[in-house]
Structure formats: C-alpha cells, structure tokens
Amino acid sequence: MGNLRSKIILDAFKKKAIEIPAPESEVSRWFGELVFTRDKMRRYLDPSTFEALAKCIDEGSSLDLETADKVAAGMKKWALEQGVTHITHWFQPLTDGTAEKHDSLIDYDGKGGVIETFTGKSLVQQEPDASSFPNGGIRATFEARGYTAWDPASPVFIQDDTLCIPTVFVAYTGEALDFKTPLKRAIKAVGDAALPICNLFDPKAKRVFAYLGWEQEYFLVDEDIYAARPDLMITGRTLMGHESSKNQQLDDHYFGAIPSRVAAFMKDLETEGYKLGIPLKTRHKEVAPNQFEFAPIFGELNLSNDQNQQIMNIMHKVARKHGFVVLLHEKPFAGVNGSGKHNNWSLGTDTGVNLFAPGKDALGNLQFITFFVNTLYAVQRHNGLLKASISSATNAHRLGANEAPPAIVSAFVGRTMHEVLEKLVELPSGTPIEIAGKKGTSVGAIGIPEIFVDNTDRNRTSPFAFTGNRFEFRAVGSSANCAGAMITLNTAVAEQLLDFKASLDAEIAAGKELNVAVVDTLKPLIESILKVVCFEGNGYSEEWKKEAKKRGLDTENVVPRMIMEYLKDDAVKMFTRCGVFSERELHARNEVKLETYVKKIQIEARVMGRMALNHIIPAALEYQTKLLQNASLQKELLGADAPAVEIDLARQISSLVADIRKKVVDMTEARKKANKQEDAFEKALAYSAIADMLPGIRKPIDDLEEIVDNATWPLPKYRELLFIS
C-alpha cells in the first residue's frame, strides 16, 4: 500500500483544474432557464390557466384537475423543447437526502407506436410504492401506501433529462412522511400568528412570510484519495487518523486565495445553480484546510430550503466532474473545524417590511421590538426543543465540542439591543414610550440606531444570534435538511405570538393605548429573557455550562435524550396547537430519529471494527515483523545483544495491537447487547455509549500511525486528505 499510496497522492497532487468556459452571456439572461418560472407559465399557459395557477401559488390553495391538465400540457411543451424524456415527483423523505423515481413520458398511442404524455393527474399526484421510506410505524399499521402531491409554491425544474416536480409526501391517512409538509404548516402557523400583530402597526399588511438564507459549509477531498478511505466512503467521516502537523493553527485558510481546481468546481456549481434559479451569492474558503462555504441570497423559506436540497445533490455530481468528493458530514476530520449550515432567518410582510429590522419611525420600532422580544422568548421557552431540532448522530460531534455550537441554546443580541432591552424594563409601568428611529421623536424615547454598530460584532460562540436584521441559527448541521430546525423555530415563534396577542388584547381591552399596552406586555418577557436566554459571553467556557444550568437552560448533551424533547408535554402542546404535527406524527418521527441515530452509529462501529482488524493490525504486524527480523539479524550478524530500540518498538506495537483488539471485541459485545433492546429510546441510549467507545479504539490506532513505517501505513493520512486540492 505504501507505494500505491504515494502514487495516488502524487497523481492527485498533479491534477489540473478543468477549463470552465465563460458563460455565453451575463447570468441575468439565463438565470432560472431550467425552471418553470412565472414568466414561462405566462408564455406556455393560456391566460385563465395562468391566473388560476398564480392564485394557487400566491394563496396556497390547491389546483383542480381540469386546470392541472392544462398546466401539465403547457409544462410538457416547455419540457419537450428542453429535451426532457422523464418526469419525477421530487420529495424530501425522512432520510438525509431527496427522493425521485423517474417515469418516462412515453405511452402507447393505440396505433402501434408511442407518444409523449403528461397529464394533470400525474403532475398533481403520484403514489410511489414507498414502503421502504422511514415512517416510524405510520405505514405499517395502515395501508402501506403514501402519496406525493405537487407543491405549486415550489416551481418545477429540470435536472438532466428529467422534469422534477417538488412534492409533499404523506401517508394515505394524511400524516406527514417528509420535511416539506410540516415546514409548510409551520410557515403558515407563524405567518397567521404574526399577521394580526403586524396589523396593529401596519394595517396594510396582508401576509407575513418567513425567509431563509442558508450558509452551506463543506469539505472537498480528492476522489482518488477518498476512495482509499473506507471510513470516509461508508460513514462520511474519518474514524481514525493522526492529526497533521499543520492544520488550521496559522489561520491561513479562512478567506484565502481559492486554488484553481476548487475555483473551477465552484464556478461549475454556480452555473448549475443559476440555471435552476438558485441565487448563489458568496463563496469562500472556510477555517479548516479544504473546507469551503457558499451562500445564496435569502428567499422565502420553503423555496430556499428546496434550493438547499437541490444544490446539495448537485454538489456531489459536479464535484466528481472535477475529481473531488464533497463531504457534507458535520465532522469529517478530528482536530479541525467541522461544518455547519447557519440558518439566517427572518419574518417579513407583503408590504416589504422586515420585522427584525429597526423601523423607520416610532411605530415601526415598536413593531420591531415586539417581534424581536417574542422570538427570543420563544427560543427561551423551547431551548431544549430547538437543540433537539438540530441534534443528530453526525452533528453530535460539533455540539458541545469546543466549536460552534455549544450544546446549550442561548441567544446573542449584541450590545446595542441589550441596552435597549435593559432600558425598556426600567421604564415605570404605563409610560407611553416611543422608540426613536430615523424620524422618531425623542420624548421619553429610547433610541435604536438605523444601523447597528455591533452588527458585525459577531459572537461566534452563540448558537442563536441577532445579526442586525435577522436571526442566525448557527447550530444547524451541514448535512441536515434545514427544515428540521426551521419547523421548530417557526412553530415556537408562532405559539409565542399567539400567547402574546392574547395578553396584549387583554391590556388593550383594559383601556391602554397601543404603545403602552405593547410595552407593558413585553416587559415581563424582556425581564425574563435578560435573565435566562440572553448571553453575551463565551459560549464555550466551562463557567457558562454551570451558569446555563442555574438559569434553567437545557444542558443535555446525549443525543437520544435530546431527541425525546419532542415528546414532552410542552412540545406536543406547541406542535398540535399550531397544527404542525399531530401527536401521532411526533411519535412516528421520533422513532425515525432514534432509529437513524442507532443505524448511523452501528455502521460506524462496524466500519471501525473492520478497519482496525483488516487494515491497521495487519500493517502494524507487518512492520513489527520487520523490526524483529532486523533485531534478530543484528544479533546474528553483529553479535550484539538484542537491540533495545527495535525490541522496544516491537513491544509497543504488540501492546497497542492488543489494546485495539480488546476494545474492538468489547465494542462488538456491547453492540450485541444493544441490539437486543426492544425499546427504541433504550437502544439509542445503548448506542450512544457505543459511540463513546469509538475514540478509545481510535487512540491506539492513531498512536500506531506515529510508529509504523510510513510506506506500510494502509490509509491516506490527514496531511494528504486535507492539503491536496
């Protein structure tokens, strides 16, 4: 392997960037060319069909079959012009990725030939034989069928030769089996709860939207080097590997010059994204070697999340064209930063007001403060649940480790807003305050600057931060579907807004003026968040863990226990009240989460065991044999005593090998025991103990890597994985 490894490394190092031809025209001319956009709807549909579809999209209503037939006919015409031969319903089951089953457009024409057909029915609904998707028992007890139904709010797009129709995926009994269904419900819940509050300040607003701007972090690894690492291939992360002498300690990767092979990949990816109407905006090197990030311009949450799912798929394909493999795992390498996916989130009205941006006048600022405080209070109320929403077997390696995010959900608001909140609570009750903005008066006023000076004063250790005109939920994992976090956040805020509105109505009914009533209702909330969820200090510190516990924040760091938050009374009440999950759905999804957790760790444990026994130990013994032969020859030919160094090394190897073997056997035994557990939660707990055994096996392996001859070592090393691109 040693020589083969050197050859792989050298070949990888010598790979050149693929020439990416410059686009024929500026992006704005072909942006969205593979999407059935509104513009194309107008061109390919008759005016009344277009109107009906537009209404459906804008109001979230469903499409009647007659209109659907006409829409399908227009879509088919467009798709055939683009060379499409297949269609698929494209959905987001409870796995890590998306699902698609392609059907060709051909059908018998009754005259012995075939024709292309595409009906409204197959646009609107399909019944994939989906009994193999994770369903948490929902399917087993009823008919093992589900159906997918088009979400007209997500435009249809073309991928290769296939027309993709974004759909929800539900059981025949109506339960959600995917991410999109509850995400849409949560978006509706928060919009519906926010609107009546907005209308107090802005009677013209008719709808409130949720927005998402994700920042996708990832690693690139040369594909040939990757192929020599079974752990990366099977689990998405390295289960072993001694740290490289150099990693990120020089801070020389972040925002550094982008190597040409990577730049070509990025360009290619952006081109594919633009064709699909994904407004990719930023690209840069991240902190760890071979780690990168890109982000689009934020957009409506449901669509933006679809686009994140699309681009995650495309990344894998495009990377291979460039001889790379994309790693979306949260922690592919020990000792350097892992990858996350910051979710920048905000609420806004159809009148163009961002509810998390300071207003233009006193009333606007009062509205801003209202939504700002209620969001933080919602995060406080459900901090454990929000942590559950981002927890997984893979994100567990970031959570609580000494990098973003800590396993405690607190909020950072910045100095300016902190001071504003403090001033607000100090006001005597009933003070008719005005929060001055640009045009604000200064009578008894508390000032909010139009632009925050500490807008960029980012506390990177905070999992939930206010960044000037939005909140940034930073704890989301790089491989996750953002919907997991967004469903919980939006529902939590929806619930809080409902409660707030009820209290506010009572104050107003008691004769208080709006601005007095608002501040009086907000005050106890502000007092509470300042004491509990708001934290401006270092989230990584040991003191914070103690302090957070005292404040009553959730400090649980065992993933299966975190997941159980979804079944606690408060969570069930919140989700059912807001119409996002039924209790049955919550139970089913939790079962899926626990099962997924178990399976991921089970796979890692198996790979770890096999690599230890089949890769590492044989290599160590091979080198040990050489050492012993050498010692023996020295003794025989040089007439020396047994040479101390060689014998000593051989002994060290024996002891490390014995340690590895014993730990692998122990782990296998632990697995056997865990597998007997019937209860999903108990089983997941047992597997979390198995996850904790892996570093113990890794340690002697990494120690061996430091001893064994480099030429004999069977796996590409960290320095080779992390520095070639």
Please give the Cα distance from 367 to 353 (Å, whole number).
10
The tokens describing 639, both together, are 């007439």
Half-sphere exposure of residue 215: CA atoms within 13 angstroms, side-chain side: 18
Cα distances (Å, whole numbers) of residue 363 to 238, 377, 429, 500: 54, 21, 19, 18
Nearer to ligand ADP, 88 or 344 (CB): 344
Please give the Cα distance from 612 to 661 (Å, whole number).
8
Sign of CA dihedral 666, 668, 672, 678: positive
Give the range of 13-21, 217-225, 341-349, 412-420 binding ligand ADP by CB under 6 A.
341-349
Half-sphere exposure of residue 340: CA atoms within 13 angstroms, side-chain side: 24
Q: Which residue has the tokens 């969820």?
A: 533
Residue 153 burial (CB count, 10 A)? 18
Find the farthest-apart pair of alpha carbons in the chain and give their distance in angstroms, rounded.
105
Q: How far apart are the first and last CA of the chain?
A: 22
Degrees to nearest 5, angle at CA 658 with 657 and 664:
90
Nearer to Mg ion, 215 or 454 (CB): 215
Query: Exposed, middle or buried, 447 (CB in 10 Å: 0-12/13-18/19+)?
Result: middle
CB of 344 vs Mg ion, minimal distance in Å: 9
Residues 208-267 interacting with Mg ion (rule: CB under 5 A) = 215
Contact 45, 70 (CB under 8 A): yes
Q: Which of Mg ion, ligand ADP, none lies near 95, with the C-beta cut-off 5 to 8 A by kind? A: none
CB of 209 vs ligand ADP, minimal distance in Å: 10
Query: Exposed, middle or buried, 566 (CB in 10 Å: 0-12/13-18/19+)?
Result: buried
Write the binding mask 479 to 518 for Mg ion: x where contact by CB under 5 A, - elsewhere.
----------------------------------------
Q: Which of ligand ADP, Mg ion, none lies near 609, with the C-beta cut-off 5 to 8 A by kind? A: none
Collect all residues with Cβ–Cβ distance below 8 Å to 106 and sequence separation of at least 6. Answer: 114, 115, 116, 117
Nearer to ligand ADP, 295 or 328 (CB): 295
Q: Which of ligand ADP, Mg ion, none lies near 265, with the C-beta cut-off 5 to 8 A by kind? A: none
Q: Which residue is nearest to Mg ion (CB)?
A: 215
Write the binding mask 295 to 314 for ligand ADP: x where contact by CB under 6 A, - elsewhere.
xxxx----------------
**455 is a site residue for ligand ADP (CB under 6 A):** no
Give the range of 90-98, 163-171, 207-215, 573-581 binding Mg ion by CB under 5 A.
207-215
Nearer to ligand ADP, 298 or 333 (CB): 298
The tokens describing 438, both together, are 């640009």
The tokens describing 537, both together, are 């200090």
Please give the Cα distance from 164 to 100 (Å, whole number).
8
Q: Which of Mg ion, ligand ADP, none lies near 149, with the C-beta cut-off 5 to 8 A by kind? A: none
Strand ranges in 132-256 using DSSP code E only, listed in sequence order: 146-150, 157-159, 162-171, 208-222
Write the binding mask 157 to 196 for Mg ion: x where contact by CB under 5 A, - elsewhere.
----------------------------------------
Candidates 128, 152, 213, 332: give the one binding ligand ADP (CB under 6 A): 213
Q: Which of Mg ion, ligand ADP, none lies near 391, with the C-beta cut-off 5 to 8 A by kind? A: none
Nearer to Mg ion, 215 or 554 (CB): 215
Contact 379, 411 (CB under 8 A): yes
**344 is a site residue for ligand ADP (CB under 6 A):** yes
Please give the Cα distance from 182 to 176 (Å, whole number).
7
Write the binding mask 439 to 468 for Mg ion: x where contact by CB under 5 A, - elsewhere.
------------------------------
Nearer to ligand ADP, 159 or 346 (CB): 346
**462 is a site residue for ligand ADP (CB under 6 A):** no
Amino acid at 722: L
CB of 528 vs ligand ADP, minimal distance in Å: 26
Give the range of 24-32, 207-215, 266-274, 379-387 binding ligand ADP by CB under 6 A.
207-215
CB of 472 vs ligand ADP, minimal distance in Å: 6
**DSSP classification of residue 725:** -
Nearer to ligand ADP, 414 or 560 (CB): 414
**286 is a site residue for ligand ADP (CB under 6 A):** no
Which 3 state secondary structure label does DSSP give 708? Answer: coil
Give the range of 53-61, 321-329, 340-348, 519-527 binding ligand ADP by CB under 6 A.
340-348
Q: Which residue is nearest to ligand ADP (CB)?
A: 213
Give the range of 42-50, 259-267, 322-330, 342-350 binding ligand ADP by CB under 6 A.
342-350
**346 is a site residue for ligand ADP (CB under 6 A):** yes
Query: Exposed, middle or buried, 258 (CB in 10 Å: 0-12/13-18/19+)?
Result: middle
CB of 326 vs Mg ion, minimal distance in Å: 18
The tokens describing 74, both together, are 């227009």
Query: How far does Cα 173 stand from its chain's mean position?
Result: 29
**270 is a site residue for Mg ion (CB under 5 A):** no
Please give the Cα distance from 96 to 312 (Å, whole number).
10
Amino acid at 73: A
Sign of CA dihedral 506, 210, 338, 255: negative
Nearer to ligand ADP, 2 or 279 (CB): 279
Nearer to ligand ADP, 212 or 656 (CB): 212
Which 3 state secondary structure label does DSSP give 252? Answer: coil
Give the range of 120-128, 292-300, 481-489, 614-622 binding ligand ADP by CB under 6 A.
292-300
Nearer to Mg ion, 162 or 467 (CB): 467
| Residues making contact with ligand ADP (CB under 6 A) | 211, 213, 215, 282, 295-298, 344-346, 354, 469-470
Binding site for Mg ion (CB under 5 A): 215
